[in-house]
């Protein structure tokens, strides 16, 4: 069976960071930049016929403050950490006056672009593992998410949990609401879903280090691992793409990350064309025992044994919307 590259993005604006980022903080400029970035990304996806899932906070669907307040569920979580409660957040009258808390125009733009799915990121950026929340509050939040999406003609079929706080006890509620898939976490202790209080600085540091030097289990997901006993599909995350500016130290690190392990990949036949994130030449090649394409001439310097199935036996260069190519994992591809 052919492999698949799954793209998913979280659309949350200020609702996703309101507990630790104020509207006058420097990071707020990044949130405002989404107004330019999202249409540009949609144009790129359309040009390359790329599918993407946009996990959207339900509150962003509202066209006005009155509509937003009418959609609020009666049962709400009572977080032990009061900063997590979004219902006291001051909001403007509509999207024109408050583009950080309303985004119906962005939702419409996504819905109108071919091959784009709108998923739920819960209604209120709900934290499923935080003390003070319960099953009844999550059920009410999920109902509000479904209703807010329906106002825009959107039928929700998948979910991305805010801060990846999946609570398996709520799987039956998802099925009842028509949700069939969720974005899970990679395998390994460092990626185990946990509440904010348990996501300590050492855990964050380990996640960052593991992103650049994977030491845990394979990030590749076999098709037979997707369907879960609960009846849902777990589309596990594998590669978090970090935005960086050209010429910065982080850009150099990201570039090295993208080409990590290339030295053990091979290209038996090369044909020039385009550029790789490492600065080398994109090629069409026969790598290892199978012919594949889009390997990097600069990176690929050694040929693994065709009989070996333990090393870098395949090349994985999925096309990135910018026109460049980058790895999505350090792991080998199995029987594409």
pLDDT at 226: 95
Plot region of 50 (φ>0 → left; ψ -120 to 50 → alpha; else → beta): beta
Domain boundary among 200, 234, 268: 234
Residue 239 domain-assigned?
Answer: no
Please list, in sequence order, all residues whose beta carbon lies within 8 angstroms of the beta carbon of residue 154, skipping any fewer than 6 positions away.
Answer: 61, 107, 111, 118
CA atoms of 280 and 143, how far apart (whole Å): 50
The count of structural domains within the chain is 2
Report field, pTM of the whole predicted structure over 0.85: no
| Residues 183 and 321 reside in one and the same domain | no
| Residues 335 and 200 reside in one and the same domain | no
| Residues 94 and 178 reside in one and the same domain | yes
Domain boundary among 234, 260, 289: 234
| Residues 249 and 331 reside in one and the same domain | yes
What does DSSP assign to residue 166?
Answer: -
| Residues 218 and 313 reside in one and the same domain | no
Residue 1 domain-assigned?
Answer: no
CA atoms of 4 and 273, how far apart (whole Å): 24
How many Cα neighbours within 13 Å face the side chain of 9? 19
Distances (CA, A) of 202 to 14, 89, 190, 208, 217: 26, 30, 10, 10, 20
| Residues 178 and 210 reside in one and the same domain | yes
Residue 128 domain-assigned?
Answer: yes
Residue 158 domain-assigned?
Answer: yes
CA atoms of 59 and 149, how far apart (whole Å): 9
pLDDT at 264: 32
Indicate the Cα dihedral angle 32, 207, 331, 277, nearest 10°.
40
| Residues 271 and 228 reside in one and the same domain | no
| Residues 140 and 207 reside in one and the same domain | yes
CATH number at residue 53: 3.20.20
| Residues 87 and 165 reside in one and the same domain | yes
| Residues 140 and 191 reside in one and the same domain | yes
Residue 267 domain-assigned?
Answer: yes
CA atoms of 224 and 207, how far apart (whole Å): 26
Residue 326 domain-assigned?
Answer: yes
| Residues 230 and 248 reside in one and the same domain | no
CA atoms of 326 and 47, how far apart (whole Å): 19
Residue 3 domain-assigned?
Answer: no
Digitized pLDDT (tens) for each residue of the chain, 336 residues in all? 788 889 999 999 999 999 999 999 999 999 999 999 999 999 999 999 999 999 999 999 999 999 999 999 999 999 999 999 999 999 999 999 999 999 999 999 999 999 999 999 999 999 999 999 999 999 999 999 999 999 999 999 999 999 999 999 999 999 999 999 999 988 766 667 777 676 677 777 776 676 666 666 566 888 999 999 999 999 998 877 766 677 777 667 766 666 654 433 333 333 334 444 444 444 333 333 333 334 444 444 333 333 333 332 233 333 333 333 333 333 333 332
Residue 304 domain-assigned?
Answer: yes
| Residues 144 and 162 reside in one and the same domain | yes
Domain that holds residue 321: 244-336
Domain boundary among 234, 263, 280: 234
């Amino acid at each position: 069976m052919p492999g698949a590259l799954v793209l998913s993005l979280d659309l949350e604006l200020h609702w996703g960071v309101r507990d630790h980022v104020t509207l006058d903080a420097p990071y707020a400029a990044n949130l405002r930049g989404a107004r330019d970035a999202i249409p540009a990304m949609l144009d790129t996806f359309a040009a390359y016929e790329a599918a993407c899932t946009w996990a959207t906070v339900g509150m962003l669907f509202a066209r006005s403050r009155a509509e937003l307040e009418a959609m609020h569920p009666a049962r709400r979580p009572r977080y032990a950490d009061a900063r997590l409660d979004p219902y006291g957040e001051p909001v403007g009258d509509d999207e024109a006056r408050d583009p950080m808390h309303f985004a119906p125009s962005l939702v419409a733009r996504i819905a109108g672009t071919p091959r784009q799915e709108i998923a739920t990121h819960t209604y209120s950026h709900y934290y499923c593992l935080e003390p003070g929340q319960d099953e009844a509050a999550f059920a009410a939040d999920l109902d509000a998410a479904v209703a807010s999406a329906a106002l825009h003609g959107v039928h929700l079929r998948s979910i991305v949990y805010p801060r990846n706080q999946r609570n398996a006890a709520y799987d039956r509620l998802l099925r009842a609401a028509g949700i069939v898939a969720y974005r899970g976490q990679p395998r390994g202790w460092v990626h185990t879903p946990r509440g904010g209080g348990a996501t300590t600085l050492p855990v964050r540091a380990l996640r960052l280090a593991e992103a650049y030097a994977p030491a845990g289990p394979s990030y590749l997901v076999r098709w037979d691992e997707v369907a879960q006993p609960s009846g849902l599909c777990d589309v596990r995350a594998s590669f978090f793409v970090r935005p960086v500016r050209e010429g910065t130290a982080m850009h150099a690190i990201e570039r090295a990350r993208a080409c990590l392990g290339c030295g053990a990949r091979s290209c038996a036949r090369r044909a020039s064309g385009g550029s790789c994130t490492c600065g080398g030449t994109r090629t069409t090649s026969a790598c290892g025992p199978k012919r594949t394409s889009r390997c990097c001439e600069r990176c690929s310097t050694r040929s693994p044994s065709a009989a070996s199935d333990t090393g870098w036996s395949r090349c994985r260069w999925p096309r990135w919307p910018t026109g460049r190519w980058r790895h999505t994992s350090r792991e080998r591809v199995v029987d594409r």
